[in-house]
Structure 1
Amino acid sequence: MNLTQREAREKYLELTREIQTGILQTALDKFPIHSIPMTLKRVEDDGTILFFSKKDSEHNQNIQIDAESQIVFSDPSSHQFLIVYGETIISHDRELIKELYSNIDNNWFENEEDTSITILKFQPFEGQYWDTKSNALSNMIKLGFTALTGTPTDIGTKGKLTL
């Protein structure tokens, strides 16, 4: 089911807020594509995703050259998947860093005053989603039926998001 505008944004917000960790991909024109797991700090109502990142990281360097980026979200346990293409900018907003900083961030940074902290602001343009969480048990039965009979069954929704 392809979604546009309001419906697409609602589906996008639902999935990103539930999954919480994505694989950020930068330098999309090079192979292998640079990929790194990132935990979301916040998803804004307009769809912008905020991450913390070190200012000298490879992905920050890639974003300075080309802001085009992609995030892959995957939650096999709930049967939800999302790939989103967009643009990422680097921010040094100290007030926002202080607002978003938590103790878990001490694993990567000295403290909230650490000058190496930047905020990556990912703005989505479009994406694709696969969502079968609402009927996971039913899908298991359907997959079993297909395995036994060879007859395909409908196992959830998928589509393009135009944001």
Structure 2
Amino acid sequence: MSSPEHKQKIWQMIKGIKVGMLVTLDDDIPRARPMHLVQDEYDGTLWFFTRRSAEKVVEAASDHDVCLSFSDQEKGVYVSLSGKANLTDDRELIEKYWNPFIAAWFPGGKDDPDVALLEIKVQMGEHWKAKESKAFQLYEFAKANVKKDATPDLGENEKFGG
């Protein structure tokens, strides 16, 4: 759980990335696949369209604990979010989040009975944000190697929830 300010901070980090890797358990083996954010704001819940018949839905129903990771290497932003997944076919939400990008993945349209939303209620997470350029980061690595007791200062890292 996090404050409204922290939720806004997380949203600012992930909203431009758009695609996160969703990790579920497939017979006790972690399995990741890309999922595209569909919302325009974040209040602690993330939404993704899915087919009701998808393996990830079966896996999330078996074990609701999931993890999502987002990364933007150019900006030095990395976010890991863990929470509970649930399937919903709430027609109001489907209508709200439906868009041409999503329609391309669902040729049967939003009224297809296999169309659903995967709701992820985030419970905890961690993020990293590099504070400087790649050149500065290389300098920090070199400095840490020269000063045997130093570690590189690459920027912000924060855990929340849990």
Q: TM-score range by the shorter chain?
A: 0.7 to 0.9
TM-score normalised by length of structure 1: 0.83
In the alignment, the residues of structure 2 paired with residue 140 and residue 94 of structure 1 have an alpha-carbon distance, to the nearest angstrom, of: 49
How high is the sequence identity, in percent, across the aligned residues?
24
TM-score (norm 2): 0.84
Structure showing the higher helix proportion among its residues? 1
Aligned to 2:47: 50
Q: Which has the higher contact order (CA 8 A, sep 6+)?
A: 1
- The 8 Å contact of residues 82 and 128 in structure 1, kept in 2 or not, is answered as yes
In the TM superposition, residue 43 of structure 1 has moved relative to its aligned partner by 5.6
Given that residues 8 and 42 in structure 2 are in contact (C-alpha distance below 8 angstroms), is that contact kept between their aligned partners in structure 1? no
- Aligned residue identity for 2:49: F
Structure 2: which 5+ residue stretches go unaligned?
A: none
Structure 1 residue ranges without an equivalent (≥5)? none
Change in Cα spacing, 1:42 to 1:94, as seen in structure 2 (3 Å) is: same
1:23–1:71 CA contact under 8 A, matched in 2: yes
**Pairwise CA RMSD of aligned residues?**
2.4
d(CA) in 1 for partners of 2:121, 2:79: 15
TM-fit CA distance, 1:146: 3.5
State the AA in 2 paired with 1:50.
W
Alignment of 1:53-92 (within 5 A): 53-92=50-89
Is it true that 1:99 corresponds to 2:100 in the alignment? no
Amino acid at match of 2:77: Q
Task: Spell out the pairing of 1:4-153 with structure 2 (5 A cutoff).
Answer: 5-27=3-25, 30-31=28-29, 33-42=30-39, 44-110=41-107, 111-132=109-130, 135-137=131-133, 140-144=135-139, 146-147=141-142, 150-151=146-147, 152-153=151-152
* 1:124-150 deviation digits (Å, cap 9, x = unpaired): 011111111xx332x522423543763
Q: Structure 1 residues 49 and 145 mapped into 2: Cα distance closer, same or farther (>3 Å)? A: closer
Partner secondary structure for residue 136 of structure 1: coil
Q: Does 1:161 align with 2:160?
A: yes
Cα separation, partners in 2 of 1:116 and 1:13, compared to 1, 3 Å? same
Contact 1:28 1:68 in 2 (8 A): no
